[in-house]
């Protein structure tokens, strides 16, 4: 049912935890299945230099969270925003159709963290210009 890569990321998730004082934080959830994930990013010079996640959910939700952190670290904000739900599923060598919503959550949580980062940057720039 699950690929070896999904099982590896579920059993040995990468980048678990949270980042104190993160540059951006994004949380997404699916009330139907109960999955909830939060992604924390640190951004330096427009590059995601650190990324961590906390996920409450099924094995596929944990695996997609782990995978997206590996995909996004080291990328610019613009590159990270281009990571799609299909990219996450493809990197995991596929997900069962009933679990594709998990990759949606991972991609959406990353986008939410980036949106939070951009909002904080805009507020910081506004405060500095006043």
The catalytic residue positions are: 33, 102
d(CA 74, CA 77): 9
Distance of CA 113 to CAs 23, 47, 130, Å?
A: 8, 13, 26
Q: Helices then strands (H, E): number in the chain?
A: 5, 3
């Amino acid at each position: 049912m699950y690929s070896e890569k999904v099982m590896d990321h579920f059993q040995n998730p990468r980048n678990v935890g949270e980042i104190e004082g993160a540059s951006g934080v994004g949380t997404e959830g699916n009330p139907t299945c109960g999955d909830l994930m939060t992604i924390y990013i640190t951004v330096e010079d427009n590059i995601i230099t650190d990324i961590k996640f906390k996920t409450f959910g099924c094995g596929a939700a944990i695996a997609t969270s782990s995978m997206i952190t590996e995909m996004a670290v080291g990328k610019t904000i613009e590159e990270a925003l281009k990571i799609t739900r299909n990219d996450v599923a493809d990197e995991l060598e596929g997900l069962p159709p009933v679990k594709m919503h998990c990759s949606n959550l991972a991609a959406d949580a990353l986008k939410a963290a980036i949106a939070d980062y951009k909002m904080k940057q805009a507020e910081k720039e506004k405060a500095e210009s006043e």
